[in-house]
């Protein structure tokens, strides 16, 4: 008999161990080995998880924290671990000469740990902790190049009113953590509300939770890490990090946290009021359309990919919300298929494009001058995109499109088609650009190194896996009229993209979309700078009040604080309130001589001694 419980705990802790080891070893090899071991352990445990398994790891009175693992979540964990493993192998090569390798691997291991914790969570607080871990890791990975070199910046540099769309890694990381912290804190509050209502944190005991507030907070919380419309900005600037970090954040970890959470909660908590959920469903798909359109206008490769991510993450979120309302188990399987299909292909796309960007030292699609030496890379690009397009019949992507249409209510189908067409347009933009490059014949690089192999092999594996893994999911394949329609729409979209390309480029709407609907302005200027100015004015007001309390003319203070120079020995004259004891003021005037200081010190010491005497007298009594 396999000791399933122990093996699962070990498999969760292994990435943590690996990440700790990487602080010192810095090459990523230990972490990769341990991740592979985790994958093996999770696969070994899979057959033994026919009934769910609960592991309590903390309990005090009614605060019980536990991991709840069943077969479907183990499968999710296997899928996530597989993708993360491939990305980690890739990053060994990518970061071979980097100046901060150790911490990169530390945080990628920690991110893996957080993902596993989220997937196996059996209560709301574990979910919240996992969200926090993911949030922190994505912050650290986005801000990986901490020296803020100009070539690491993201943004097209076009100006919008008084701001320039250009962000340093530090700014990108800061935006990411501040925006996602809204999601995390809302999630925390929601779980505490559930605790206050039901007296328990376990998901299994939330069956009778009927709370409008809980539902609203949860839905608000999951929209944030999923990067749905008002919160897309953090994902678009999250590109400042290294490519493997983007691949990891986008394919499996933080962006999917919202959908995973809804799947978790949806199994137990009764679904919210029908109308609310329907509005949210429509909103999510609309938001994917909008963010996809933003990506169409962009010149930056990674932003285009990010927009494509928001579409698929929106789809996953949509499926999870559908699961919450209907409770159909095959939707959970669909979620797994989306995770695999999107995760593998998106990571593959990131790696291929990222490598090309890395070599040509640019982030803009028009400036790519170096093409991959390795021939299959273009094939990888095509195959991964074709998987996401759903045009190749025996692929996970096809299954994903087909199933998501099959399970949707009728009024959602046009919206889903629209978002699918936009995602095709996004990826076609990249493919067509590279196709042109290939025809023109650009310079290539011929040296083969071990680190290049480390980058190419995972890319190749990711390229073929979506097609191979269909073997596991073939029972879900079904051919209906809708399948034919979706296939037709996809092919039509691809052809349209090829022929309408130049026309789209000249459209005026592109210029507007380039400004991302003004969302950067909203986030940076209105929310960021506006809030900062509010803080500054409050600061000035309270500084003047402060000075007024301590007896300085308010007008003089205003000028004084404008040139408020804070150095080690800054001199600010604080006068004690005159209404206070006159004698104290006299002492203050005396204090400018050292002798007076000494006198005062003696007074202080005397006071202490008097205190001591009082204590001793009391003791004697």
Partner 1 sequence: MIMIAVSLIYIPLIIAVLLFLLRGKIVNNCTRCVLSTLACIIMTVPALYYYANNMTTLCEILVRAPYVGPLILWITPVSAFMILVSGVVASAVSVFSLSYMEHRCEELHISTELSTYYGLYVLYIQGLLGMLYSRNLILMFIFLELAAITSFLLILFYGYGNRYRVALLYLVWSQMASLLVLCGILLIHVWTGTFLIEHVTAIYDTTSIIALSLILVGLLIKMGTFLVHFWLPWAHAEAPSPVSAILSPVHIGVAGYVLMEITHTFYVPIMKAMSPYLMTYGIVTMIYGGMMALSERDIKRFLAYSSISHMGSMLICISMCNYIGEAALVLVFVAHALAKSLLFMFSGFCISRLGFRDFENLFGLYDVYRPLSVAGIIGFISLSGVFNIGLLSKIYLTFAIADEVMLVQYPWKIGLISIYILSIMITIAYCFYAMRRLYFGVARHIHRVRPVYSMDVPIIVLALLTIVLMFPPVAHIAIGKIILYNFVKVFGR
Q: Assess contact for 183 and 222: CB atoms under 8 A.
A: yes
Pick from 129, 269, 425, 427 the residue near partner 1 by CB under 8 A: 129
Q: Assess contact for 339 and 403: CB atoms under 8 A.
A: no
Could you report how far apart the first and last alpha carbons of the chain are, in Å? 72
Pick from 147, 207, 375, 511 the residue near partner 1 by CB under 8 A: 147
Distance from chain centroid for Cα 324:
23
Distance in Å, CB of 66 to partner 1, minimum: 13
Distance in Å, CB of 189 to partner 1, minimum: 6
Closest CA to 354 of 305, 311, 295: 305
Dist CA 583 CA 469 (whole Å): 86
Q: Assess contact for 462 and 390: CB atoms under 8 A.
A: no
Distance in Å, CB of 537 to partner 1, minimum: 9
3-state per-residue secondary structure call for 312-357: HHHHHHHHHHHHHHHCCHHHHHHHHHHHHHHHHHHHHHHHHHHHHH
Q: Decide if residue 542 touches partner 1 (CB under 8 A).
A: yes
Distance in Å, CB of 21 to partner 1, minimum: 16
Residue 314 or 520 having the CB closest to partner 1: 520
Pick from 539, 554, 558, 586 the residue near partner 1 by CB under 8 A: 539
Dist CA 505 CA 587 (whole Å): 77
Distance in Å, CB of 277 to partner 1, minimum: 20
Residue 231 or 374 having the CB closest to partner 1: 231
Dist CA 74 CA 339 (whole Å): 13
Residue 96 or 103 having the CB closest to partner 1: 103
In this structure, what token pair is assigned to residue 345? Answer: 């292909």
Strands 163-164 and 53-60: unpaired
| Piece of 86-94, 395-403, 478-486, 585-593 that binds partner 1 (CB under 8 A) | 585-593
Residue 212 or 479 having the CB closest to partner 1: 212
Q: Decide if residue 558 touches partner 1 (CB under 8 A).
A: no
Distance in Å, CB of 487 to partner 1, minimum: 45
Dist CA 618 CA 101 (whole Å): 63
Distance in Å, CB of 282 to partner 1, minimum: 24
In this structure, what token pair is assigned to residue 92? Answer: 């060994």
Find all residues with CB under 8 Å of 5, minimum gap 6, and list them.
Answer: 53, 55
Residue 163 or 545 having the CB closest to partner 1: 545
Pick from 393, 468, 495, 574 the residue near partner 1 by CB under 8 A: 574
Pick from 329, 572, 586, 613 the residue near partner 1 by CB under 8 A: 572
Q: Decide if residue 526 touches partner 1 (CB under 8 A).
A: no
For the chain, the farthest-separated pair of C-alpha atoms sits apart, in whole angstroms, at 101
Q: Assess contact for 80 and 64: CB atoms under 8 A.
A: no
* DSSP bridge pairs for 41: none
In degrees and rounded to multiples of 5, residue 443 shows phi and psi of -65, 155
Pick from 7, 43, 136, 552 the residue near partner 1 by CB under 8 A: 136
Residue 223 or 515 having the CB closest to partner 1: 223
Total residues binding partner 1 (CB under 8 A): 81
Q: Decide if residue 20 touches partner 1 (CB under 8 A).
A: no
Interface characters, 166-185, with partner 1 (x: CB under 8 A): --xxxx-xx--xx--xx-xx
Q: Assess contact for 151 and 166: CB atoms under 8 A.
A: no
In this structure, what token pair is assigned to residue 590? Answer: 């005396």
Residue 558 or 597 having the CB closest to partner 1: 597
Given 3-state DSSP classes, what are the helix, strand and coil percentages for the chain, each rounded to the nearest 5? 75, 5, 20
Distance in Å, CB of 97 to partner 1, minimum: 17
Q: Decide if residue 587 touches partner 1 (CB under 8 A).
A: yes
| Piece of 129-137, 267-275, 283-291, 470-478 that binds partner 1 (CB under 8 A) | 129-137
Distance in Å, CB of 445 to partner 1, minimum: 29
| Piece of 332-340, 445-453, 459-467, 566-574 that binds partner 1 (CB under 8 A) | 566-574
Closest CA to 239 of 109, 108, 399, 353: 353
In degrees and rounded to multiples of 5, residue 593 shows phi and psi of -100, 150
Residue 136 or 392 having the CB closest to partner 1: 136
Report the site for partner 1 in 28-67 (rule: CB under 8 A).
57-58, 60-61
Q: Assess contact for 313 and 256: CB atoms under 8 A.
A: yes
Distance in Å, CB of 504 to partner 1, minimum: 38
Report the site for partner 1 in 591-620 (rule: CB under 8 A).
591-592, 597, 600-601, 604-605, 607-608, 611-612, 614-615, 618-619
Residue 402 or 524 having the CB closest to partner 1: 524
Residue spans of alpha helices (H) in 26-160: 29-45, 71-94, 101-120, 124-142
**Token match 């699962």: residue?**
8
Interface characters, 189-218, with partner 1 (x: CB under 8 A): x--xx-xxx---------------x-----
Dist CA 336 CA 46 (whole Å): 15
Residue 212 or 279 having the CB closest to partner 1: 212
Closest CA to 477 of 595, 383, 542, 394: 394
Residue 184 or 320 having the CB closest to partner 1: 184
Find all residues with CB under 8 Å of 537, minimum gap 6, and list them.
Answer: none
Dist CA 138 CA 180 (whole Å): 10
Residue 358 or 550 having the CB closest to partner 1: 550
Q: Return the number of other C-beta atoms located less than 10 Å from residue 433's C-beta.
A: 17
Distance in Å, CB of 117 to partner 1, minimum: 12
Distance in Å, CB of 236 to partner 1, minimum: 19
Distance in Å, CB of 549 to partner 1, minimum: 5
Report the site for partner 1 in 255-274 (rule: CB under 8 A).
none
Pick from 188, 290, 415, 430 the residue near partner 1 by CB under 8 A: 188
Residue 50 or 568 having the CB closest to partner 1: 568
DSSP 8-state assignment for residue 121: B
Dist CA 267 CA 392 (whole Å): 33
């Amino acid at each position: 008999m396999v000791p399933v419980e122990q093996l699962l705990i070990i498999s969760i802790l292994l990435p943590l161990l690996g990440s700790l080891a990487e602080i010192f070893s810095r090459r990523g090899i230990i972490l990769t080995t341990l991740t592979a071991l985790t994958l093996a352990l999770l696969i070994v445990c899979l057959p033994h998880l026919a009934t769910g398994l609960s592991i309590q790891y903390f309990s005090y009175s009614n605060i019980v924290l536990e991991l709840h693992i069943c077969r479907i979540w183990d499968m999710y964990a296997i899928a996530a671990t597989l993708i993360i493993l491939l990305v980690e192998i890739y990053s060994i090569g990518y970061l071979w000469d980097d100046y901060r390798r150790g911490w990169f691997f530390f945080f990628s291991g920690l991110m893996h740990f957080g993902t596993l914790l989220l997937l196996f969570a059996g209560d709301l607080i574990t979910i919240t902790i996992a969200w926090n871990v993911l949030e922190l890791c994505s912050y650290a990975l986005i801000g990986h190049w901490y020296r803020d070199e100009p070539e690491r910046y993201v943004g097209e540099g076009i100006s919008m009113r008084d701001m320039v769309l250009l962000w340093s890694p530090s700014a990108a990381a800061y935006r990411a953590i501040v925006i996602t912290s809204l999601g995390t804190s809302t999630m925390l509050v929601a779980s505490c509300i559930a605790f206050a209502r039901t007296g328990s944190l376990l998901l299994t005991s939330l069956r009778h939770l009927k709370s409008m507030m809980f539902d609203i907070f949860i839905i608000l919380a999951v929209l944030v890490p999923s990067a749905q419309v008002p919160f897309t900005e953090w994902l678009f600037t999250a590109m400042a990090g290294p490519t493997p970090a983007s691949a990891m954040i986008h394919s499996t970890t933080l962006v999917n946290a919202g959908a995973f959470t809804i799947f978790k909660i949806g199994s137990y908590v009764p679904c919210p009021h029908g109308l609310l959920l329907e509005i949210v469903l429509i909103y999510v798909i609309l938001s994917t359309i909008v963010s996809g359109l933003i990506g169409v206008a962009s010149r930056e490769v990674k932003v285009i990919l990010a927009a494509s991510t928001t579409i698929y993450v929106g789809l996953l979120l949509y499926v999870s919300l559908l699961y919450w309302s209907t409770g159909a188990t095959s939707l959970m399987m669909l979620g797994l298929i989306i995770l695999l299909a999107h995760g593998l292909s998106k990571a593959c796309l990131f790696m291929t494009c990222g490598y090309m960007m890395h070599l040509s030292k640019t982030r803009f699609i028009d400036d790519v001058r170096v093409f991959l030496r390795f021939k299959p890379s273009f094939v990888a690009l095509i195959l991964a995109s074709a998987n996401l397009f759903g045009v190749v019949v025996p692929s996970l992507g096809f299954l994903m499109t087909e199933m998501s249409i099959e399970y949707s209510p009728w009024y959602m189908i046009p919206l889903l088609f629209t978002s699918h067409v936009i995602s095709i347009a996004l990826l076609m933009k990249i493919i067509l650009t590279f196709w042109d490059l290939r025809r023109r014949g650009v310079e290539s690089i011929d040296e083969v190194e071990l680190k290049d192999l480390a980058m190419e092999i995972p890319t190749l594996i990711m390229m073929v896996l979506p097609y191979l893994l269909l073997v596991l999911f073939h029972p879900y394949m079904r051919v209906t009229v809708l399948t034919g329609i979706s296939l037709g729409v996809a092919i039509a979209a691809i052809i349209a993209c090829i022929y309408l390309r130049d026309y789209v480029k000249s459209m005026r709407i592109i210029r507007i979309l380039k400004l991302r609907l003004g969302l950067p302005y909203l986030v940076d200027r209105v929310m960021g700078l506006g809030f900062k100015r509010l803080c500054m004015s409050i600061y000035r007001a309270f500084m003047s009040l402060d000075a007024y309390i301590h007896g300085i003319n308010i007008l003089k203070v205003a000028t004084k604080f404008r040139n408020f120079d804070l150095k080690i020995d800054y001199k600010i004259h604080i006068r004690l309130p005159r209404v206070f004891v006159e004698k104290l003021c006299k002492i203050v005037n005396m204090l400018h001589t050292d002798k007076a200081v000494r006198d005062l010190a003696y007074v202080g010491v005397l006071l202490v001694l008097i205190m001591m005497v009082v204590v001793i007298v009391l003791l004697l009594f």
